[in-house]
Each structure stands twice: as structure tokens, then as C-alpha cells.
Amino acid sequence: MANNPLETVCVIGLGYIGLPTAAVLAQAGKRVTGVDLQESVVESVNAGRVPFVEEGLETVVAGAVARERLHAQTSTPPANAYIVSVPTPFKEGHTADLGYIESAARSIAPQLTGGELVVLESTSPPGTTEHMADVILSERSDLTAAPGLPTSLYFSHAPERVLPGRIMIEMVDNDRIIGGTTEAASQLTRTLYESFCRGELLLTDARTAEMAKLTENAFRDVNIAFANELSLIADQLKIDVWDLIELANHHPRVNILQPGPGVGGHCIAVDPWFIIDAAPSTSRLIRTARDVNDSKPDAVLQKTLKAAERFKAPRVAALGIAFKANIDDLRQSPSRDIVGRLADSLEDGTVLVSEPNIEQLPMELAGRPNIELVGLDDALEQADIVLLLVDHVQFKNVDPDSLQAKVIIDTRGIWNWARQLSGATPPP
């Protein structure tokens, strides 16, 4: 075992994952420095505030800052352990952009003296942890990845698996995969993570850990694609897909997910591409699933435009533009894309957006003459067509009587009663 006390930890990247990780480590008694390039994030954390919405996080951050266990800054300091939690967006052609990981590695390199642990948490293509180690070692030829020497460094991957909205619970309770580039690195990482993680710690190698995280999200993507493809088939065959799935799911070994207007967010719609990019000729099913899910917003758009043909100046109430229910996150949201393209296509029509979790429209939709952000009641009252895009709790309680004369397109299947209304169209 490496001779590392793991008392000081530096977390690089104070976003949705890095900040909660820094907070729970500080709560567990570590001295934590959080590093972020954005001054505004650093200032906010040092004032005990959280720059985004996540249930239960602010109390832990404020407590840790007050007890001087957590501090934020823009530069990388010396530490016993580093956790890299920066974005891995994709570039043109769906290949991963490792630029943020590489610059985090370069900021760590000058601080090292030997014995330190460097953990990559960012979701990454297979081989990225080894690449991060190479970047550090290429700057520090006096240090080594071979374990057991005073000059040894320890590298591993510990992917996060938390669900936004439940991060503070899942970060502590979920099982955690840990993959070191050496067995000694895995063991040292386990010691760090068992300080705050109550779930099982599952040790493997770095590449398998990277692939396991991608596999989890690709599995979900493929299963959602199955539901989305079924919804298109059912529409063609004039069958109600929600009844169909409910019936099929009574089989003890069938568990079909729910169709929707497409797959959004920064994980499920992105991570499968890292597998496809790593093994392009063999990832046939995973690629097709991506294509099926990416084509769903267009199917919803076409169905809405067809319904709009019967109105001279159609008013479409678009309910929800978040990427999923009961959050304010609009990243890679299929509903947001549908709203923009609908407004482009409706020459004399208007799109009335109702999104209870935001106060203003995102930049590309704001200020357009035929898109308005309105309250739910206004949207429903004025609309000819009601297009349900997100299953927010506020929409579940809509009074069926208020929609009697409208065309209804329910992409989430939450309004069972809509299927019996005259003039209502079954969901796509």
C-alpha cells in the first residue's frame, strides 16, 4: 500500500458532480480544495452558496466552508489526492474532447512530489485514465506509475453514477466502481472513497471501469430506443403504445421503458457515442439506438405540423422544454429542439411555451416573434393544439374538461383520459 495519508484532497471542476464530491469529502473530515476556472463559481462556494439547484447540497457546502474544511480557488494546489471532475463534451463527428482533462492533468503535474493519487471521475472513452497518466508523466519524467517507490504516482477511474435531483443521497449510497491503472492504485482509491461512500466499492482495472460507466448509459439508451421505435410502429398500426407496453410488461421477464419525444441530457445522449467511436464497426446496435432516439423529435414535429394544417393561424401550447421531468436543466433537450423547429415551420402560427421550472426562455428561443413563454393556464386556454413534451408534475393534474375542444398530442402518455376525447390524437 502506498504511503499516502489522504488527508488533503483537491477536486478539479466544481460542477454538478465535483462540488457535491468536494462537499461530502469535507463532511467526512478531509481538507478539501475545490478548483474551478470560473471566478464566479469560486466566490459563490467560498461564500457557502451553490451556483445551481441540487437538493441538500447547499447546507453541506455552507457547513464545510464555515468549518474551514472546504475552500475554493482558481489554481491547483499541492494535495495528497486529486479528483478530476471536468466536462468531456464531444467534438465534431461525436469524438470525445479530452481538452479539459488534459489541462487539469497539466495543472496537477507541477504540484506532485511522489506518492499522490490522481482519480478521474469524468465520464470518458476507454483508455482516458491511461492518457491522463501519460500527460502527467510526460511533464514529470522524475516520477513513475510503477507502484511502491517514493516517486510513484497512483492513477484510477471512479465514474460517478448519481441521478440529478438525488445526488446527495446517491453519492453516498450508490455502489461505486473503482478501476486503477495498477492494483495499488485501486486499493488507495478504495481507501479514499470508503471515507464517504456507504455503497459497495467494486475494484477492477481502469479500462473496464471506463467502459462500465459507458455501458450503463448505453444500456438505458438502447432500451429507450426500443420504446421509441415501438411508439412509431404502434402509431402506424393505430395501436395505443402505452396500453401495449403496459400489457407486455405484465410478462415476468419483460420490462419496456417509456417512449418520449427523444432522449436528452448530457449523459445518455452523449456517452454511447464514446463506445461507438472506440469500436465503430462493431457497435451496430448502440449506433442504431442513437439514431432511433435522435430521430424521435422529428417524428413529433411532423405529427404536430400535420395536426396544424387544419388551422389558419395555429396556436400550439408546448408543455415543457426541460430534458426530463421536474428539473430546470435544458441541456440537449429534445423538447427545446422541437419548439424551435416548430416555430420555424409554422408560418402564421404561434408556439406558447409553458415551462414551470424556468423564468426566461433560452437564448435561441427568446425574442422570436412567434414563441412566447406563458403560464400553464394561458397556454391551455389559447391553444388549438396541446403538445405535451415533458411529464412535469404540474402537467399531470391538468383538468381534462379544459381541453375538450383541442387537439392533444401527448408524447409522454400521462393523460390516459385524452385517448377517449373526441378530436384527440393518440400519442406518437
CB 391 to ligand SAJ: min, Å: 8
- Residue 267: active-site member: yes
β-strands 176-180, 154-157 pairing = antiparallel
Alpha helices in 237-281 (DSSP H): 241-248, 271-278
Number of other CB atoms surrounding residue 205 within 10 Å:
20
Which CB atom, from 126 or from 349, has the smaller least distance to ligand SAJ? 126
Alpha carbons 318 and 348: distance in angstroms, whole number: 16
In degrees and rounded to multiples of 5, residue 323 shows phi and psi of: -80, -20
Handedness of CA 54, 175, 9, 206 (dihedral sign): negative
Alpha carbons 273 and 271: distance in angstroms, whole number: 5
Alpha carbons 288 and 285: distance in angstroms, whole number: 5
Which CB atom, from 163 or from 279, has the smaller least distance to ligand SAJ? 163
CB 325 to ligand SAJ: min, Å: 7
Q: Which of 10, 30, 213, 324 is catalytic?
A: 213
Q: Which of 10, 267, 296, 303 is catalytic?
A: 267
CB 263 to ligand SAJ: min, Å: 4
Which CB atom, from 125 or from 349, has the smaller least distance to ligand SAJ? 125
Residues that bind ligand SAJ (CB under 6 A): 123, 160-164, 216-217, 220, 224, 257-258, 260, 263-265, 267-268, 323-324
Which CB atom, from 268 or from 380, has the smaller least distance to ligand SAJ? 268
CB 110 to ligand SAJ: min, Å: 30
CB 174 to ligand SAJ: min, Å: 8
Which CB atom, from 220 or from 341, has the smaller least distance to ligand SAJ? 220
Alpha helices in 68-205 (DSSP H): 99-108, 128-139, 167-173, 183-193
Q: Name the region of 148 (left: φ>0; alpha: ψ -120 to 50; beta: rest).
A: left
For the annotated catalytic residues, the residue numbers are: 213, 267
